[in-house]
Structure 1
Amino acid sequence: MNVQLNPEEVAIVASTHIGIIGGGQLGLMISEAGRAMGYGELTVLDPTAQAPASAVARQIMGGLKDPQALRELAQQSDILTYEIEHINTEALEQLQADGYTIYPSPQILAIIQNKYRQKEFLDQHAIPVAPFRSVESRADIEELARTWGYPLVLKAKKDAYDGRGNARINAPEDIETALAKLAGRELYVEQCLDLKKELGLMIARNARGEISAHPVVEMIHERDICQTVLAPAPIDPRLLEEAQAIAHKAIAHLNAIGIFGVELFLDKAGKLWLNEIAPRPHNLGHYTIEACQTSQFEQHLRAITNLALGDTSMRYPAAVMINILGERNGPAEVRWQKHFDTTCIFVHLYGKRETRVDRKMGHITVVGETLDEVHQLAQEVRASLSI
């Protein structure tokens, strides 16, 4: 990482202690960026012994929703941030009221945490989102089906990620199964769009009001999990500009500080829709570590400490990121079938001791001249690795 700081920024960074709620792979990569930038101290809160981030940051053992553990982290930090949104906003609001600095703010987190409330916020500010309605019963779903037709997606308002908390309804006979899957949760229904591509970008804002976005990428999902990211997205330049404008408008209305992952849908009619916002570094931005002048993790730290935002341009014409997902359950064992050129191939393993099916164990980024060539090489590298 080639970090560029002026003397004033060096002094700010060296005297600032960062507390990170969550010590998983995102906490690890935030901490790695923080070490490279020279932050005074980095501490993570995580309930798992020897969490991935503990390899480079000090760890406090504790639950992410435990008010006492959150306060202990706050007392040792100048600024609190987080790598996961499923945390205790009420406890964070109390810490904020007591004078602790938290970015993104608990108020922003409360909006984004509840996906239905997030949709309402975006809709109120004329940001395009797929039609959605709150539901409580089978009759509510049937009424929407008469209006919109099938398919529909039943979604949990809270604690949903990587497809967990979603149930697709293709026909009337799917309704009971979907309701049973999400029983006991607050629900809403979203109309299915006729999708061409899923897109995304990382966008940051600091307290000065500066906003800067990384390139728009295409995300390829399998089993509702992002498997591959293509950068830049192979779409019309007009759509690239429009996607950035939608993300810019959303972040400006949120008045948020930090970096945000913005996911969008491109339908077959050529219209863009904002799907959802994550108030933290995101899987879609991992390629930025090697492929961009400023990584998403450095940019997040710049934003929350009110430094000038970094250059987001790509250092290579093309980059592809492939997630390394667990394929079995048991102890993690890294095995390679062959070696590759490490000047254009970058492998990140997160240090998780146990592998599980579809658990994110690491990622591979490959850079080069064309997306087709880079994508092919990235697939070959992934196929040669077992974990």
Structure 2
Amino acid sequence: MNTTQNDPEAAIIASTRIGIIGGGQLGLMLSEAARAMGYARVTVLDPTPDCPASVVAEQIVGSLKDLSSLRQLAEQSDILTYEIEHINTEALRTLQAEGVKIYPSPELLAIIQNKFAQKEFLSQYGIPVAPYRSLASAAEIELAVREWGYPLVLKAKKDAYDGRGNARINGPEDIEAALAKLGDRELYVEKCIELDKELGLMIARNERGEIAVHPVVEMIHERDICLTVIAPAPVSLELQQEAQAIAHQAIDHLNGIGIFGVEFFLDKAGKIWLNEIAPRPHNSGHYSIEACRTSQYTQHLRAITNLPLTSTEMLYPVAVMENILGTHNGPAEPRWSQTYDPEHVFVHLYGKRESKFDRKMGHITVVGDDSAAVYQQAKEARAALSI
């Protein structure tokens, strides 16, 4: 939901061209927010012709790692941002040195891209992260076992998302398979937290250092992919405030500009650990489009154009977001087996032509007053859709 703009803000927005690196579903929803706010121009760079964001934005077809394509986007934009981390930071640094505004910064992105470097950065500021160690060789897994015992998680330092760079080690018999799964990538190993819940929040910061935080949510994963988000999270106010304070500290130290998805582990002893940070809009904030006074996408745009950040207050007592994941490989043909309540159920389909198993094809947000009823309605709405 957009906020009312005053005249100086409207002038800034009307004269600013936004360039988005990546044109997937996050680029689509970011472009929709930019169009609704009235930004002068919205252009996306994506290698896939007719990418999801191209429905509402101009598209440059090109690689996210190609300097010439990135420069072409920069020439049509006043500010560059991105919806995906797997891009060429060296190319971004080159453009930044030429005077291109890029938020969040390439320096921040380089830290986030390497999950081990991210842990190292957070640790040096006393931010709680699960115990971890780098692996120079497979033999060093034994050192981690001696220190922490089983289970462990073997993780790739780079190019890992939705669990694709992780391998769980429950005992010595799992080590060989875990190493085989992750191949010859740079690796580190992490102690498994005895998990109670996975939590998350969206936090925005603008150039003047102003910060705004969306509510803490619970994320429920299947096959390491976020399936369901419950807002607000069913945890104490004290835990919510602690998570917000940790996120605030992390983003301040990173000097972040934009919006950031911060994921946490809550262990069975009630301790919060920061798991990882996404320097962009995030699954855990989709619900905010309908359920909050300012969506994560609007707030991101306000942050990168250095406008005052606006209220993140929820407009309903409860919201549940259900990811629509592909259940087969083949053409995407959305079909509903029953109707849904359009006053409380909001459906976002991303326009992807091909469905793939576990591919993110859309999401459903349900709002209401009662947690159990909203959760059930979200599950029923998802079950009624085949895609």
User: SS of the counterpart of 2:122?
Assistant: helix
State how 1:337-376 maps to structure 2 within 5 Å: 337-376=337-376
Equivalent-residue separation in structure 2 for 1:47 and 1:2 (angstroms): 30
Q: Deviations over 1:162-202 (max 9, x none)?
A: 00100000111111111111112100000001000000000
Counterpart in the other structure of 2:85: 85
Equivalent-residue separation in structure 2 for 1:72 and 1:65 (angstroms): 12
User: SS of the counterpart of 1:276?
Assistant: strand
Equivalent-residue separation in structure 1 for 2:138 and 2:129 (angstroms): 23
Q: Percent identity?
A: 73
Q: Deviations over 1:309-345 (max 9, x none)?
A: 0110100000000000000000000100010110010
Equivalent-residue separation in structure 1 for 2:131 and 2:199 (angstroms): 19
Q: Deviations over 1:192-221 (max 9, x none)?
A: 010000000000000011011000000000
Could you tell me which runs of 5 or more consecutive residues in structure 1 were left unpaired when the two chains were aligned.
none
User: SS of the counterpart of 1:158?
Assistant: coil
Equivalent-residue separation in structure 2 for 1:6 and 1:106 (angstroms): 31
User: SS of the counterpart of 1:338?
Assistant: coil
Counterpart in the other structure of 1:174: 174
Q: How big is the shift at 1:95?
A: 0.2
Counterpart in the other structure of 2:303: 303
Aligned residues, how many?
387
Confirm or deny that 1:153 pairs with 2:161: no
Q: How big is the shift at 1:58?
A: 0.0
State how 1:7-18 maps to structure 2 within 5 Å: 7-18=7-18
Counterpart in the other structure of 2:5: 5
State how 1:1-387 maps to structure 2 within 5 Å: 1-387=1-387
Could you tell me which runs of 5 or more consecutive residues in structure 2 were left unpaired when the two chains were aligned.
none
Equivalent-residue separation in structure 2 for 1:2 and 1:239 (angstroms): 29
Q: Deviations over 1:216-239 (max 9, x none)?
A: 000000000000000000011110
TM-score by length of 2: 0.99
Q: How big is the shift at 1:3?
A: 3.0
AA aligned opposite 1:45? L
AA aligned opposite 1:359? R
Q: How big is the shift at 1:2?
A: 3.4
User: SS of the counterpart of 1:346?
Assistant: strand
Equivalent-residue separation in structure 2 for 1:266 and 1:370 (angstroms): 24
AA aligned opposite 1:19? G
AA aligned opposite 2:370? T
User: SS of the counterpart of 1:178?
Assistant: helix
Query: Do 1:3 and 1:36's aligned partners in 2 also have CA atoms closer than 8 Å?
Result: no
AA aligned opposite 1:382? R
Equivalent-residue separation in structure 2 for 1:378 and 1:311 (angstroms): 26
Q: How big is the shift at 1:4?
A: 1.5
Query: Do 2:219 and 2:227's aligned partners in 1 also have CA atoms closer than 8 Å?
Result: yes
Equivalent-residue separation in structure 1 for 2:2 and 2:51 (angstroms): 26
AA aligned opposite 1:44? V
Equivalent-residue separation in structure 2 for 1:48 and 1:3 (angstroms): 33
Equivalent-residue separation in structure 2 for 1:37 and 1:265 (angstroms): 35
User: SS of the counterpart of 1:351?
Assistant: coil
Q: Deviations over 1:135-176 (max 9, x none)?
A: 032210011101100000000000000001000001111111
User: SS of the counterpart of 1:54?
Assistant: helix
Equivalent-residue separation in structure 1 for 2:172 and 2:117 (angstroms): 27
User: SS of the counterpart of 1:146?
Assistant: helix
Q: How big is the shift at 1:46?
A: 0.2
Equivalent-residue separation in structure 1 for 2:340 and 2:62 (angstroms): 40
Query: Do 1:263 and 1:277's aligned partners in 2 also have CA atoms closer than 8 Å?
Result: yes
Q: How big is the shift at 1:370?
A: 1.6
AA aligned opposite 1:266? L
AA aligned opposite 1:145? V
Q: How big is the shift at 1:371?
A: 1.3
Equivalent-residue separation in structure 1 for 2:219 and 2:334 (angstroms): 26
Query: Do 1:262 and 1:276's aligned partners in 2 also have CA atoms closer than 8 Å?
Result: yes
Query: Do 1:138 and 1:176's aligned partners in 2 also have CA atoms closer than 8 Å?
Result: no
Query: Do 2:3 and 2:310's aligned partners in 1 also have CA atoms closer than 8 Å?
Result: no
Equivalent-residue separation in structure 2 for 1:220 and 1:173 (angstroms): 28
User: SS of the counterpart of 1:324?
Assistant: strand
Q: How big is the shift at 1:48?
A: 0.3
User: SS of the counterpart of 1:215?
Assistant: coil
